Amino acid sequence: MARPRPRPAEKPRPIEYAGDPTFAAQMKDLDVAETVESMRRRIADAVQARRRISPTQLLGEIVGPEKQNEENPEDPELTQAFAMNFLALWNEEVARLPRGEETTRWRAEVQERIEEEAQELRKPYLAPARPGRNDPCACGSGKKFKRCCGA
């Protein structure tokens, strides 16, 4: 009996850009105070200058840290679609870079930053330490926690 041949690994498909009207609508819905053209310009400037920045860091600069770190966005699917469009624009700009040692070195540094961000996201959630029953209460009363705020 012949063994089935392993299938060749599929090449990852590049993220396709949804288009300016879709991206503009997403920015409007998310209250991002930018136009598509200004967003493209900021991405192009960062890539052409070969800034040591990941797409996520650049997106954080554009939309602001409070919007980027929002834990429960109103529409997570819209937020994800916006991020994917942003990443597609980033990838288009990176593809335009001329080949060479400097570009290769820059890409490796950016990839390293992306991997560091991914490592941060993989860290488990650690709940804040709670005082034990017999520890002094954090309110400063001098009583044990179990007799004060823990009661």
Paired tokens of 49? 């200058």
Per-residue model confidence as pLDDT tens digits over 110-146: 999 999 988 888 888 787 788 888 889 888 888 988 8
The pTM for the full model equals: 0.70
Angle at 74 between CA 68 and CA 80, to 5 degrees: 55
pLDDT value for 75: 85
Rounded to 5 degrees, what angle do the CA atoms 34, 35, 41 make? 95
pLDDT in tens, 100-112: 999 999 999 999 9
Q: Say whether pLDDT at 1 is over 60.
A: no
Q: pLDDT digit string (tens) for 13-46?
A: 678 899 999 999 999 998 888 899 999 999 999 9
